[in-house]
Amino acid sequence: MPESVLEMVVDALGKPSKPRRDAIPASTVVEWMRTTDLEALGALQVLISDPRHAGRIVPRLSFDAVFEFTMRYSERCILENPQAGQWASSCYLVGHDLVRWFLRMWDDPLVARQRLGEIKSRLARLHKSGDIDVRECIVNGILEHLFERNDVAAYFIDWKADSELGQAYDDALLWSRPD
């Protein structure tokens, strides 16, 4: 009987006391990325985002593939807020990861600015279509921390003019600038 994608990814990661060091074919990782199992997606996120493991993927995954996968995984975690699993991140944990990822790209002049715009647009779409828990996660778990940087808060200023996003912008700005 074939192993599940989760089992295959966990096997590729190895144990913390004995991590695997062998190469992983990029074609295999791309195939695994097609799974809908959120736990497997969480393990894959570890595989592709941890340099110790990502460096074993041969050839290296394209920025576009990593970007699309990370956004799909993050959106699922924000919407579903998994709690009981070992690999999938809660909405707030993935929110913090998204903040770090966004800021790394923000500070990297080689990253196309349109990618940052895609994240901003996806957050806007999630906020507009999400329930109260999703909206709170986006404000409290993502925007508040992004807006600790004045330059990033300025990038989102167009949200103020939107009837649905304006309050989110103001709330996040208040938390990051309480005085």
Question: Do the Cβ atoms of 127 and 138 come closer than 8 Å?
Answer: yes
pLDDT tens-place string over residues 33-87: 999 999 999 999 999 999 999 999 999 999 999 999 999 999 999 999 999 789 9
Confidence of residue 10 (pLDDT cuts 50, 70, 90): very high
Q: Are 127 and 135 in contact (CB under 8 A)?
A: yes
Q: Looking at residue 1, what is its pLDDT? A: 39
Q: Which residues pair with 58 in a beta bridge?
A: 25
85-123, pLDDT tens digit by residue?
Answer: 899 999 999 999 999 999 999 999 999 999 999 999 999
What mean pLDDT do residues 155-167 have? 96
Q: Is the four-CA dihedral 132, 37, 9, 115 of positive or negative sign?
A: negative
* Cα dihedral 126, 131, 135, 137 in deg (nearest 10): -100
Give the predicted TM-score (pTM) of the model.
0.93
E strand or H helix that includes residue 154: helix 150-155
d(CA 139, CA 13): 33
Is residue 9 within 8 A of residue 47, CB to CB? The reply is: yes
At residue 27 the predicted structure's pLDDT band, cuts being 50, 70 and 90, is very high
Assess whether pLDDT exceeds 60 at residue 2: no
